[in-house]
Homo-oligomer: A and B are copies of this chain.
Amino acid sequence: MSYQNPVFIPGPTNMPETLRKACDMGTIDHRSPVFGKILHPCLDGVRKVLKSEQAKVFIFPSTGTGGWETALTNTLSAGDGILAARNGMFSHRWIDMCQRHGLDVTIIDTPWGQGLPADRYEEVLKADTGHRIKAVLATHNETATGVKSDIAAVRRALDAANHPALLFVDGVSSIASMDFRMDEWGVDVAVTGSQKGFMLPPGLAIVGFSQKAIAATMTGTLPRTFFDIRDMTKGYDANAYPYTPPVGLMNGLKLSLDMLLEEGLENVFARHHRIAEGVRRAVSAWGLELCAVSPDLYSDTVSAVRTPDGFNATDIVTRAASEYGMAFGVGLGDVAGKVFRIGHLGSLTDAMMLSGLATAEMVMVDLGLDIKLGSGVAAAQDYYRHGSGTAAKAAA
């Protein structure tokens, strides 16, 4: 009698049944031509989702964290300089990885809830006249705070400084859900995973390398084998992998890409925006505020909701799970206990989202918060509903 409710964690997402069935595949010979018919559509489709003409795409049996490591170890050498802003748990972790790999990170500490400060990036890059900095890290969507940053602005910072550093972007919780423009933004390595916008189980690190990033692999001396894109490149050219590929998950990815591209990326993004905006209206109706400090930063995949001082936001997540069988996300790191997170990405309908909002309301009332039952739901309904609903009017 369980596992029936949708989940509202910020990934892994709810999965369409067709994708689950595509992943649940019998064993094939991954050294046979059949595998090529799964591999190449995956590579091509991801490139389209990245909005890139020139990127080389690599798919590892791993996770987004492995994707970060792929970016670093293929292009950099011990002691290389890195520039990164830290505005949440995931940007923090990528920085930590750099340090553990012997890279020298210049950290721009940024209050959680704010976006990446492009102006600060520009200052540091301009000051780095010796080009000690080899790569700039940017987290497109901070899953911990629900903050979407302006990657084009980071690119402009690099350009303004006329700095040759590579631009690495963590798009784990944005790619395939929110607009991402690898070529236009001059992204050198884009990192994502299977379990967010692609609506698949976890298990794939999906990365795109620009030609410039690929060139850097010739000089990078950090040790690497599992994540070495040179072996991958050699394999792909022969329809193969340097080790056993995750065939079923890739078969799911192939279908996911078909679905996304058939729906149209802009429609996918609009759908995410619409559902997210309904959530934001609900939050506002509850009299609560988002962690993200201004509307331009609002993420369309996850909302981190601040709860009143003295209230432990994690209680909401715990109680939703134990009493109502529904999963939300806890606050992490600096905002642990201060926010709870509502994931609203991937395979989701208005009706499913409303069940999440309605459940959150019950939990908050149970816990004594001054929330009116139905208030957030009504605000979201008013936005979602067709006819003369707000979203419809906005779209008109």
Interface residues of A (CB under 8 A from B): 1, 3-5, 7, 9, 11-17, 20-21, 23-32, 61-66, 68-69, 73, 78, 96-97, 100-102, 193, 195, 201-203, 222-228, 242-249, 259, 263, 271, 321, 323-327, 329-330, 347-352, 354-356, 358-359, 361-362, 365-367, 372-375, 377-379, 381-382, 384-387, 389
B residues in contact with A321, CB < 8 Å:
29, 32
Minimal Cβ-Cβ distance residue in B for A364: B385
Would B384 and A246 count as touching, CB distance under 8 A?
A: no
Task: Report the separation of the CA atoms of residues A372 and B373 in the bound assembly, to the nearest whole angstrom.
Answer: 13
Check if A244 sits within 8 Å of B347, measured CB to CB: no
Which of B9, B222, B351, B355 meets A325, CB within 8 Å? Answer: B351
Residues in chain B near residue A27, CB distance under 8 A = 7, 9, 12-15, 201
CA A320 to CA B185, docked complex, whole Å:
41
Which of A223, A350, A387 has the largest count of B CB atoms less than 10 A from its CB?
Answer: A223
Give the contacting residue for A9; candidates B12, B31, B352; CB below 8 A.
Answer: B31
A372 proximity list for chain B (CB < 8 A): 378
Q: How far is the CA of A247 from the CA of B23 in the complex (A)?
A: 14
Report Cα–Cα, A246/B249, bound state, in Å. Answer: 11
Q: Would A65 and B13 be within 8 Å (CB), given that A3-B28, A246-B202, A362-B386 are in contact? A: no
**Which residues of chain B have C-beta atoms less than 8 A from A323's C-beta?**
386
Contact of A31 among B26, B66, B223, B330 (CB under 8 A): B330
Q: Is the CB of A389 within 8 A of B377?
A: no
A316 to chain B, nearest CB (A): 13
> Quick one: given A324-B350, A327-B29, A378-B374, are A63 and B1 in contact (CB under 8 Å)?
no
Please determine whether B351 and A5 come into contact, CB atoms closer than 8 angstroms.
Answer: yes
Q: How far is the CA of A127 from the CA of B355 in the complex (A)?
A: 55
Which secondary structure dominates chain A's binding surface? loop
> How long is the Cα–Cα vector from A365 to B389 in the complex, in angstroms?
9
Given contacts A1-B263, A355-B355, contact A63 B16 (CB under 8 A): no
> Cα distance A28–B15 when bound, in Å?
11
- Residues in B neighbouring A225, C-beta threshold 8 A: 65, 68-69, 96-97, 100-101
Q: Which of B243, B259, B354 contacts A358 (CB 8 A)?
A: B354
**Residue in A3, A78, A96, A375 with the greatest tally of chain B CB atoms within 10 Å:** A3
Known pairs A14-B4, A202-B245, A244-B63; A378 contacts B384 (CB<8 A): no
Q: Are A1 and B29 also in contact (CB < 8 A) when A193-B244, A203-B61 are?
A: no
> A4-B349, A12-B244, A374-B378 provided; 15 other pairs, C-beta below 8 A?
A3-B16, A4-B14, A4-B348, A4-B352, A12-B27, A20-B26, A21-B21, A31-B329, A63-B226, A69-B226, A97-B225, A100-B223, A201-B246, A324-B386, A351-B355
Judge whether A61 and B202 touch: CB under 8 Å.
yes
Shortest beta-carbon distance from A230 to chain B in Å: 10
- Show 14 A/B contacts (Cβ-Cβ < 8 Å), sorted by A: A1-B259, A3-B17, A4-B349, A4-B352, A5-B349, A9-B29, A29-B321, A32-B327, A96-B225, A101-B225, A203-B203, A351-B356, A351-B358, A354-B354
CA distance A63 to B11 in the complex (A): 23
User: Closest 3 CB pairs between A and B?
Assistant: A374-B378, A29-B327, A374-B374
Residues in B whose Cβ lies below 8 Å from that of A389: 362, 366
Q: Are B378 and A373 in contact (CB under 8 A)?
A: yes
> Pick the contact of A62 from B61, B100, B195, B356 — CB < 8 Å?
B61
Q: Shortest distance in angstroms between A89's beta carbon and chain B's nearest beta carbon?
A: 12
A61 to B356, CA, bound (A): 30
A223 touches B222 (CB 8 A): yes
